[in-house]
């Protein structure tokens, strides 16, 4: 069984916060692993495994326009089902 069920990925356009600050905020406020934040002020990519993807989406929506949002259930994928 996976500790963190949802693979959460998205892009943020127009983010006025540095990628290191986004990384630090997520690590200190949300339980999860496999965090990757990369990009610049034009567009930033976020990848994170968590059990509360809606909280991550809400935080990121406050940083800029979010799009290309993907939330996949890795537990279902592990069982051979569509995530």
The whole-number pLDDT of residue 40 equals 84
Does pLDDT of 10 surpass 80? Answer: yes
Residue 31 lies in a domain: yes
How far is 38 from 20, CA to CA, in rounded Å?
9
Q: Give the three-class secondary structure for 8.
A: strand
pLDDT band at 80 (very low <50, low <70, confident <90, very high): confident
Q: Whole-model pTM above 0.85?
A: yes
pLDDT tens by residue, 16-51: 899 999 999 999 999 999 999 999 878 999 999 999
Structural domain containing residue 25: 6-71
Q: What is the CATH number of the domain that holds 63?
A: 3.30.70.3100
Give the mean pLDDT of the chain: 95
The whole-number pLDDT of residue 45 equals 98
User: What's the total number of domains in the chain?
Assistant: 1
């Amino acid at each position: 069984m996976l500790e963190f069920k949802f693979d959460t990925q998205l892009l943020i356009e127009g983010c006025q916060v540095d990628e290191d600050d986004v990384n630090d905020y997520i690590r200190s406020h949300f339980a999860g692993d496999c965090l990757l934040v990369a990009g610049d002020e034009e567009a930033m990519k976020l990848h994170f495994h968590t059990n509360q993807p809606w909280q991550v989406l809400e935080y990121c929506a406050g940083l800029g326009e979010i799009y290309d949002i993907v939330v996949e259930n890795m537990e279902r994928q592990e069982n051979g089902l569509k995530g």
